[in-house]
């Protein structure tokens, strides 16, 4: 990997029919954080899990923010393109198909930005507690790209109007968006795992 790359973990596929997953942690997480989640929702998948390269008070993130819920959008764009380059390098190195992003919180936001800025990098995405990453996103063609957006009804960080706007934005770009609002806060619940696992199963069956 090049100097521009990410510290990451890679676990090879155990089932050739399972889609590779790009695991993107939340603020303060690292490359180990979502490996367990990845194995739970798709036990056979190859797992590619990078560590965010921005530090906020010592906590890894995927891009800078100005305050909670207010993003440094120039940094969002730059970091999303860096992540897209990393995915391309990793696909070549490990022999992977385009992965499905599974992102939580800050990781879901960078995955949403990647969909808007470099859509070919991903085959689809599971966005857990995501927000609109860019106030003025580019016009993009996400025709048929499957996306599962799971929001928490009592999420103190992501307003319901914001997640609804993200669902509309992705749908208007042509993506096949399933948006569910769960009786949960910002943290993940058993319902998130069940819905994500079912969605991955359908995704794998459709691309088989």
**Nearest of 26, 157, 204 to residue 102 by alpha carbon:** 26
**Which residue in 18, 49, 155, 163 is the catalytic one?**
155
Q: Are 60 and 51 in contact (CB under 8 A)?
A: yes
Q: What is the pLDDT along the chain (208 residues), one digit of tens a residue?
A: 444 589 999 999 999 999 999 999 999 999 999 999 999 999 999 999 999 999 999 999 999 999 888 999 999 999 999 999 999 999 999 999 999 999 999 999 999 999 999 999 999 999 999 999 999 999 999 999 999 999 999 999 999 999 999 999 999 999 999 999 999 999 999 999 999 999 999 999 988 7
For this structure, is 15 an active site residue?
no
For this structure, is 74 an active site residue?
no
**Which residue in 5, 85, 171, 186 is the catalytic one?**
186
Confirm or reject CATH 3.40.50.1820 for domain 8-207, answering yes or no.
yes
Please tell me the pTM assigned to this model: 0.97
For this structure, is 163 an active site residue?
no
**Which residue in 49, 105, 151, 163 is the catalytic one?**
105
DSSP string, 93-119: HHT-PPPEEEEETHHHHHHHHHHHH-G
């Amino acid at each position: 990997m090049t100097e521009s790359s990410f510290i990451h973990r890679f676990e090879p596929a155990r089932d050739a029919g399972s889609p590779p997953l790009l695991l993107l942690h939340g603020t303060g997480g690292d490359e180990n954080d979502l490996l367990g989640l990845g194995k739970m929702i798709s036990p056979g998948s190859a797992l590619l899990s990078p560590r965010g390269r921005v530090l906020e008070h010592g906590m890894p993130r995927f891009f800078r923010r100005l305050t909670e819920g207010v993003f440094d959008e120039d940094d969002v764009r730059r970091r999303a393109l860096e992540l897209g380059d990393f995915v391309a390098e990793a696909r070549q190195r490990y022999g992977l198909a385009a992965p499905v992003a599974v992102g939580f919180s800050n990781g879901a936001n960078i995955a949403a930005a990647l969909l808007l800025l470099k859509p070919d990098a991903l085959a689809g995405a599971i966005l857990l507690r995501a927000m609109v990453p860019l106030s003025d996103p580019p016009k993009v063609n996400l025709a048929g790209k499957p996306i599962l957006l799971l929001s928490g009804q009592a999420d103190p960080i992501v307003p319901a109007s914001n997640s609804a706007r993200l669902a509309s934005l992705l749908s208007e770009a042509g993506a096949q968006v399933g948006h569910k609002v769960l009786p949960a806060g910002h943290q993940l619940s058993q319902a998130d795992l069940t819905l994500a696992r079912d969605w991955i199963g359908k995704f794998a069956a459709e691309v088989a």
